[in-house]
Amino acid sequence: MNVTNTLTRNNGIGLIEVLIATVVVAVGLLAISSLQINLISGSSNNKIRSEAMLLANLKLEELKDRIEKEDSFDEIASGKETNWIVGSNENFARYWLVTDQTNPERKVVEVKVAWGATGQMVLNAANAAAANAAANSSASIANEQVIVQSVISFQSPGASMLAASDDERGLNAMSPSPSAESSDKIFDDLNVPLDDLTLFDAERGIYTREINGETQYFKENDMGGGDRVFLCSDLVYFENNLYTRRVNDDSIAGDESIELFSDNNDGLSCTRQIRFNGGIIIPIRGIVYSRATTGNNPNAGLLDVNLFTFNASESGAYCVFNPIANSTEAPYVCYVGGNCINGPDGTHLPRVDAETPLQLATAGQHTAVTECPKPAVAQIKVGPGGWRGNVGLLGIASNGNNVCFAEELAGPSSTINTARAYYTRRTNGNIVSNEGINKPYDCHNFLIINGKNTLTQISNECKARAATISGLKLASKYIQRNLTGTSPNSVDLITDVSYCPGDVAPTILVSGEIKNASTAPTVTITDGIQTPVECQATTTAYSCTITTNEPALTVNATSGSLVATCVMAPSTVGCTLNLATPTLTTYTITGNIIGGRREEVVIELAGTACTIDHTNAPSIYTCSIQTTANIATLSASGGGVTPSSVSVQLTPGTSDPTTVEGPNFNAIIPRTISGTISFTNQVTIAQASISVLEGNCGTAINPTGSQSYSCTVPDGVENTLTITISPPCSTGNNSRKYQITQGTNSSLGTGTLAIPLGTVTGNQTRDISVSRSNTNC
């Protein structure tokens, strides 16, 4: 018999095998990590390159869009930006080279966008040719520059239009969004043949046509055609001769887009300029100061700021800068688009006019365009924070000038700029990115000086010229708002006034519009404290300078027998003076006077006593006034009446006179509730007080012995008298509850007794006692 012994064999892994496996895994992980780093780096580089390509194509489209007449085509020439263009992950420098060709006549255009070290070399170059030479000398040019090329030739748009069929004429179009889709430049139909239109208003040259049931309006232009316009009466007045309307421009509920229109000053029509897609218009305001001279001799005058304008062609902004002739300083405002996707909801209706206070809005109503809709909404395509980019001046380099910023006042700057860059910098861990600014700014002033050769000379000239302007502050070249982590980029409605005059009274340059003046009127401005200051004025505009800390300014204009007055908060944007013959409106204001002393009350309006009917209670007052104002103030006295002064909003109605509901006045007879509060010898408390629901009981109570009290309460009002003691029980080993008693009203161990007084029609006496009970606490 065979016997087989089965042996158990133990299997295992040796140390050497473990070490080999560890090395293999480590090498694999390192390879994967290296691959991931390369992918991330490549993705970042691709994003920078894509954004640079977009900026190059935008400039190319801008050069093409400039061709409206043959001389515009001839003016296309090489050039470069003088400031960084702020991107999502990088800042860019851009320049373009234009070469004229013949047979046929055309222009070969190369637009180049650089960043990094190559971009810095381009930015510091004097012109496009120098920028090209500098970029070509850069060792990093292959990785830090993109190029787009095209050929541009001129063909008359009028000839193209005549050759087109009716269906092909005047299609609405929009350019690519300049900054995070926050706005679109609108191209309405231009130069439509008048033969295709119907005359609507011969005096103003307005025509119409019907398209799919819609009446479209056109204004005759200098070329004998009609340009698309809109009726200003269908729009909402904004400011600076601009109008707006909110529209729904996407498939999501809510009027998220704002269209901005300029007044054609014909009393009828407005031209559409730009559409903001984020639900809000963000203003950036300031003053442009010229301290550059017209020549090199010591007696040379200062250069007119009219020689300069704002660079908003591609920044997605719409700027208003209308200096009076021969001005050396003038206010500006540039409007950009924010993003309301993160709120907050708007709260006010659009302003009726410069003098009328803002009114609260309810849900669904169109809000003021400098606030978000209610509820807040924006087009989904708008990037976080909306607009970011540059706001600056054109014509600086061509006139041989420089612009000063805070950096030049601090010392020689590393770059020469003519614009400010606005952006929000988000830091989320190791990731840093740029977003829209989403915040208004004021006092972002520009100072123009004579051109200098070196950075040190520029700094010294800026310091010298800034010292000639009292209280001047200059903002930085880089306006950066900071966010961290994933916090939402919501609209910040508080205007940044960091660079506005502070401790000393600011000098304010106020420029406004004058209407219906046949000759230049005499215009003055005052803050109500100092003597009126005379202003510069033409038949259409005025400019005033006043130094004040007062909250309101009054501007007056006189021209013969015509007088105009407007009141405004201190601002560079003045209120409008209308010298048209005023139309007086008659108002009748009525209301009630209640209370036992109502027959002692006197009410006045504009120094004239109103009539009061005391036949029944309440008494009824009636006041009358003829005025052009939209606010009237009623004054009341006698009988202890409250309030003593009330402002009433006046809105013209369809009837004459217009009846306005006035406020109610109270002439209440004061009543007294008095008595004594007695504390027995066994009562030891820290404090006691007495109060009434309506009225006043004076000083505190001394919680010992017998104390008197007195409360003053209004007549005819239901009231309650309350006494409170602390503690509610005695202290020590035999703690007992304290009892508060007043007539049939009693409280045990609570520390409080509420005594109903009923409707008080006369004086009352209420004596109160506080004693120690036999009830344990």
% the chain with pLDDT above 90: 42
Domain with CATH 3.30.1300 in the chain: 40-153
Per-residue pLDDT, 504: 47
Of 287-291, 557-561, 570-574, 773-777, the poorest mean pLDDT is in 570-574
Beta strands in 344-489 (DSSP E): 389-394, 401-404, 419-428, 431-435, 446-450, 478-484
**pLDDT recorded at residue 740:** 94
- State the average pLDDT over residues 84-105: 82
CA-closest candidate to residue 370, choices 440, 444, 266, 300:
440
Q: Give the residue among 73, 93, 75 at the shortest CA–CA distance from 85.
A: 93
Q: What are phi and psi of 661, to 5 degrees?
A: -75, 120
Q: What is the pLDDT of residues 341-352, one digit of tens each?
A: 998 888 778 877
Cα–Cα distance list, 310 to 288, 306, 307, 393 (Å): 10, 11, 11, 5
Residues 6+ positions from 578 with CB-CB distance below 8 Å: 515, 516, 564
Cβ–Cβ < 8 Å for 60, 147: no
Boundaries of CATH 2.60.40.3070 in the chain? 585-666
Report the pLDDT averaged over residues 571-578: 80
- Per-residue pLDDT of 507-554, as tens digits, reads 676 778 899 998 999 999 998 888 898 888 888 888 787 877 788 899
Neighbouring CB atoms inside 10 A of 758's CB total: 9
Supply 423's token pair. Answer: 């952006």
Q: Report which DSSP code applies to 357.
A: P
Class assignment of domain 585-666? mainly beta
Using CA atoms, how far apart are residues 127 and 129, in angstroms rounded to an integer?
Answer: 6
Specify the pLDDT at position 227: 96
**Contact yes or no for 338/358 (Cβ under 8 A):** no
**Range scoring the smallest mean pLDDT among 28-32, 194-198, 231-235:** 28-32
| pLDDT given for residue 163 in this prediction | 36
Of residues 640 and 239, more confidence is placed in: 239
Give the largest Cα separation in the chain, rounded. 145
Cβ-contact 141, 132 below 8 angstroms: no
Instruction: Give the Cα separation of 633 and 645 in Å (integer).
Output: 7
Q: Domain 507-574: which topology?
A: Immunoglobulin-like (2.60.40)
Measure Cα distances from 626 to 582, 629, 650 in Å: 11, 9, 11
pLDDT category at 228 given cuts 50, 70, 90 is very high
pLDDT over 90 at 767, yes or no: yes
Q: What's the pLDDT score for residue 692? A: 92
Which regions of 628-705 does DSSP assign to beta strands (E)? 631-637, 645-649, 658-661, 665-666, 670-679, 687-692
Per-residue model confidence as pLDDT tens digits over 598-639: 899 999 998 899 999 999 888 999 999 988 788 899 999 998
Write the burial class of residue 147 (CB in 10 Å: 0-12 exposed, 13-18 middle, 19+ buried): middle
What string of H, E and C letters represents the secondary structure of 290-339?
A: ECCECCCCCCCCECCHHHCEECCCCCCCEEECCCCCCCCEEEEEEEEECC
Residue 686 has pLDDT above 60, yes or no: yes
pLDDT score, position 474: 95
Looking at residue 162, its pLDDT comes to 34
- Class in CATH terms, 40-153: alpha beta
pLDDT classification of 456: cutoffs 50, 70, 90: very high
CA 117 to chain centre: 37
Q: What is the pLDDT of residues 364-408, one digit of tens each?
A: 788 889 989 988 998 989 999 999 988 988 888 778 889 999 999
Q: CB-based contacts of 71: which residues, under 8 Å, 6+ apart?
A: none
The fraction of the chain above a pLDDT of 70, given in percent, is 88
Predicted local confidence at residue 73, as pLDDT: 60
Neighbouring-strand partners of residue 206: 201, 219
Query: Tell me, which fold does domain 670-776 have in CATH?
Result: Immunoglobulin-like (2.60.40)
What's residue 542's pLDDT? 84
Separation CA 755–CA 744 (nearest Å):
10
